[in-house]
Amino acid sequence: MAFMQKLLAQNIPIWDDCAETPFLRELQQGTLPLEKFRTYIVQDSIYLKNYARLYGKMIWHSRALRDIQVYYGALNFVTEMESAVRLGYLKRFEMTDSDIEDLEPLPENQEYIDFMMSIGEGGNVHEMLMAALPCMLSYSYIFRKLLSSPDGIGAEYADFIEDYAEDGYLDSCRGLEAFAEEKCCMSTREEKEKLGRIFEKGSLLELRFWEMAYGGRI
């Protein structure tokens, strides 16, 4: 089994748990309290700034032009596509990115940010990629799952769900997945095991993030 295929198979149960959190179930139904969604959007804005920094570190530590181009493309995708979604909702909450700058991350968010930055400090680009991928790949999986539910989706957050479930987002995720396979498939068994642990930790931190607006695990 290919390296990334194996990683996805091992982590999809965690992503399924994400989809079953109260936050995402209520998001799908359109019944999520707006204040809970506001908490998520604010915290996601803080997170994405640091997520972009991680891609910046990948660019800095890469030597091959193609690698730099891939990471630069991913960074642009994050800052443009993700920001377009975010900024629309921030405007609804009468906020801007400037209002976010001085806000503190909640503990679950800080844990995730600290994890990414600690991996970034090591300077190993493959490890940084494994820390970054669970965010994008899990979003594509989770939101496509929500959209395809036989229960349908409520109108309140339909545009948000559809943005992450669209085919263009999936294509970008598949491109990064294929790139990660190419870069990591020749790693030693020990290296692959470490990369797998990083990917799993990122997936678990995604779960914690979805639980965050409801005060963590219940």
* Among 139, 132, 122, 136, residue whose Cα is nearest residue 54: 132
Q: Give 38's contacts (C-beta < 8 A, 6+ positions apart).
A: 93
Per-residue pLDDT, averaged over 6-33, amounts to 97
What is the number of other CB atoms lying within 10 angstroms of the CB of residue 67? 17
Q: Number of C-alpha atoms within 13 angstroms, CB side, residue 122?
A: 15
Query: What is the rounded CA–CA span in Å between residue 60 and residue 44?
Result: 24
pLDDT for residue 34: 93
pTM assigned to the model: 0.94
The mean predicted confidence, pLDDT, of the chain is 93
- Angle value at C-alpha 28, between 87 and 93, nearest 5 degrees: 25
- Are 209 and 108 in contact by the 8 Å Cβ rule? The answer is yes
Query: What is the rounded CA–CA span in Å between residue 108 and residue 119?
Result: 17
pLDDT per residue as tens digits for the range 101-149? 989 999 999 999 999 999 999 999 999 999 999 999 999 999 999 999 9
- pLDDT beyond 70 at 82: no
Query: What is the rounded CA–CA span in Å between residue 218 and residue 180?
Result: 34
